[in-house]
Amino acid sequence: MNLSASQPHVAHTAPRAMLPSEVDVLVVGFGPVGAAIANLLGLYGVSAMVVDKAEKIFMAPRAIALDNEALRVLQLAGLEESDFGKIAIPFVRMLSPYLGEFGRINTLGEIDGHPKLVTFYQPELEEALRRRVARFSGIRTALGIALTGVVEHEDSVTATLDLGDDSTCSVRARYLIGADGASSLVRQLIGQQFEGKTYAEDWLVVDARGVSHPIDHVEFICDHRRPVPHMTAPHDRERWEFMLRPGETRAEMETEERVSELLAPWGKPSEMTLERKAVYRFHARTAKAFRKGRIFLAGDAAHITPPFAGQGLVAGLRDAANLSWKIAWVLQGRASPSILESYDQERRPHAKAMIDLARLMGRLIMPRNAAVALVTHGFMRLTRLVPPLRRYFEELEIKPRNEFPRGLFVTGRPRGRLVRGGPFPQGWVRDPRGRIHLSDDALGPALTLIGFGRDAGTMLDAALLREFVSCGGRIVQIAHRGQSAHLGRDGWCEDLEGVFMPGTAPFGWAAIVRPDRTILHDGPVTEAGRLVRESLALLRNPVCAEASHDATPALSPRRSFP
């Protein structure tokens, strides 16, 4: 057993004595999702312990692609641009042996301050997340320790931990998060089995460095005889995924000779450095529910997807952002425990929608035979002649939006880019000290009342202001670039790129944004008092809040939580 060297308060000796018998949150699994959750809980000031049965980071990379939403969650979790290497991907090509390029997705450029698509090296990301966790004195990590059992009580959970030296101990936690991967024991213990599909195909995943003819993008070679996704990655790496043909075995495909044969079209295998080769079978499955009582599932423990849309870890990071602040707010007495219901309500449908997208991509990548390939790829090529269809695929409009039909927000019709239950945009801003930030960094890890062009704080009476602040609230004013002379007190920023005004909201509007950057409420700034009261009511008593819904007319059919 190796207790984290970065955690001086968890000693390497006498671990049983050093492990706490009680914690607020026990996170099981220190993979990328457990590590992101640990960082977010630390940021929100929650005390937690993370255990992992493995002593070290798993060094064979699995995830290779991340989208702008994942990068934004990593930013929320405190990671900086330079913390791990990334390669921005300009486009994704779909190639047919008969028709040439039949599809393309443009991924150049950014959304909400981050590249639309990057590739990365998973162990480097995990190392960065673990380094950051070490900043938080409230977060303990204990490696080489496996969860073996859980008992739930009315006010807590008791977990049994195997200390790896033939002994066990018990830890009591207010909440437990199972981020223990695809074979999650937590999921089994709470009886939320996976539902969905396991694919019959196996894939050989190969990572190599020093390729003689490197590429700068992602390509899917959609040959029904041997489909091959292929992509560039940081530090001179490339990845290929080769679908196994019927009769090919894992043992045969993982031999050096076979891998060399497969890589031959891309250069001399003798000149490449083969970093890893492993056969995987992909699944498209979600747990029946992401929560049971005080126990939650996140990441691969809750959902697994074929990697064709590059969304497995991305979905896990969305879970991390959605769940962590809710648990923190409940533990800190700022919100009612019933807000925790909204985690499953918000996350499960979206995770399923992403899996459906990956399955659709799978059908394009792995046509059953030449005839199916010609029809589907030919159809995709024809869609490029119809501008709205072309945009739908090429500009990624096909990707499910991270907007919740139901959840923890006050219902209302969308206003500009402000969609309640959807993400608040991000852009570059300048703060009162002249520093330039991405806006999430300027807003901080708070529940935020934002006034567009006007100070929403002046609309709250002293008692309401105190109540909002005690609920983790912060007030920020966003002004047009060059209008900072209007702004008196701290807590403002200038919109340097015009992302917020008027693109997102008109002058004189206000929005309340959750710590995970989901829009909770919005309306005229003159009604900021009402917006705050309704938002606090929703956090404190989600059931009552439905009755006291937004007074804005023409409400959308979307319902309030629950």
Ligand X SMILES: Cc1cc2nc3c(=O)[nH]c(=O)nc-3n(C[C@H](O)[C@H](O)[C@H](O)COP(=O)(O)OP(=O)(O)OC[C@H]3O[C@@H](n4cnc5c(N)ncnc54)[C@H](O)[C@@H]3O)c2cc1C
x/- mask, ligand X, residues 365-404, rule CB under 6 A, reads ----------------------------------------
Among 34, 457, 515, 542, binds ligand X (CB under 6 A): 34
Select the span of 47-55, 97-105, 287-295, 354-362 touching ligand X (CB under 6 A): 47-55
Measured from the CB atom, the residue of 300 and 344 that comes closer to ligand X is: 300
Interface residue with ligand X, options 28, 87, 142, 532 (CB under 6 A): 28
For ligand X, the closer of residues 308 and 468 by Cβ is 308
Query: Closest separation between CB of residue 507 and ligand X, Å?
Result: 39
Indicate the SS3 state at residue 535.
helix
Q: Are 136 and 78 in contact (CB under 8 A)?
A: no
Interacting span for ligand X (CB under 6 A) from 27-35, 259-267, 389-397, 448-456: 27-35
Residues of span 176-205 touching ligand X by CB under 6 A:
179-181, 185, 205
| Paired sense of beta strands 139-143 and 2-3, if any | antiparallel
Distance, in Å, from the CA atom of 420 to the CA atom of 440, rounded to the nearest integer, reads: 17
CB of 212 to ligand X, least distance (A): 24
Q: Give just the sign of the alpha carbon dihedral 482, 485, 486, 489.
A: positive
> Applying CB under 6 A, does 33 fall inside the site for ligand X?
yes
Q: What is the nearest approach in angstroms of ligand X to the Cβ of residue 336? A: 28
32 binds ligand X (CB under 6 A): yes
Select from 89, 88, 87, 84 the least CA-distant residue to 126: 84
Q: Nearest CA to 45 among 25, 69, 31?
A: 25
Query: 180 vs 275, which CB is nearer to ligand X?
Result: 180
How far is residue 332's CA from residue 178's CA, in Å, rounded to a whole number?
21
> Strand pairing partners for 232?
238
Other Cβ atoms within 10 Å of 236 Cβ, number: 12
Instruction: Give CA 493 to chain center in angstroms.
Output: 27
User: Given the complex with ligand X, which of 331 and 361 has the nearer CB atom?
Assistant: 361
Taking the complex as a whole, the smallest distance from the CB of residue 297 to ligand X amounts, in Å, to 9
Comparison of 402 and 560: residue with beta carbon closer to ligand X: 402
What is the C-alpha separation between 358 and 366, in angstroms, rounded?
Answer: 12
Count the residues of the shown chain that bind ligand X, applying the rule CB under 6 A: 32
Q: How far is the CB of 9 from ligand X (least distance, A)?
A: 20
Q: Which is nearer to ligand X, 304 or 512 (CB)?
A: 304
Query: At its nearest, how many Å lie between ligand X and the CB of residue 242?
Result: 12
Q: How many CA atoms lie within 13 A of 131 on its CB side?
A: 11
Close Cβ partners of 168 (under 8 Å, ≥ 6 residues apart): 148, 160, 161, 162
Nearer to ligand X, 222 or 314 (CB): 314
Position among 76, 87, 125, 147 found at the interface with ligand X (CB under 6 A): 147
Q: Residue 506 half-sphere exposure, CB side, CA atoms within 13 Å? A: 7
| Site of tokens 């703060």 | 431
Contact region with ligand X (CB under 6 A), list: 92-100, 174-182, 222-230, 441-449: 174-182
Nearest CB to ligand X, comparing residues 52 and 112? 52
Strands 218-221 and 237-243, by their bridges, are unpaired
Q: Would you say 246 and 391 are in contact if contact means Cβ atoms under 8 Å apart?
A: no
Please report whether residue 29 would count as binding ligand X according to CB under 6 A. Answer: yes
CB of 374 to ligand X, least distance (A): 28
> Is residue 555 a contact partner of residue 409, using CB atoms and an 8 Å limit?
no
Using CA of residue 214, residue 220, residue 223, residue 224, what is the dihedral sign? Answer: positive
Interface pattern 291-330 for ligand X (x via CB under 6 A): --------xx------x--xxxxx-x--------------
Q: For residue 304, what are the β-bridge partners?
A: 285
- CA-angle at 467, arms to 464 and 473, nearest 5°: 105
Kindly state the smallest distance separating residue 280's Cβ from ligand X, in Å: 5
The CA dihedral of 102, 108, 109, 115, to the nearest 10 degrees, is: 110
Complex with ligand X: residue 116 or 334, whichever CB lies closer: 116
Q: Which of 93, 309, 83, 311 is nearest to 216 (CA)?
A: 93
Please, which residue, 78 or 307, has the CB nearer to ligand X? 307
- Is residue 30 a contact residue for ligand X (CB under 6 A)? yes
- Of residues 50-109, which lie at the interface with ligand X (CB under 6 A)? 51-54, 62-65
Nearer to ligand X, 42 or 451 (CB): 42
**Which residues form the interface with ligand X (CB under 6 A)?**
28-34, 51-54, 62-65, 146-147, 179-181, 185, 205, 280, 299-300, 307, 310-314, 316
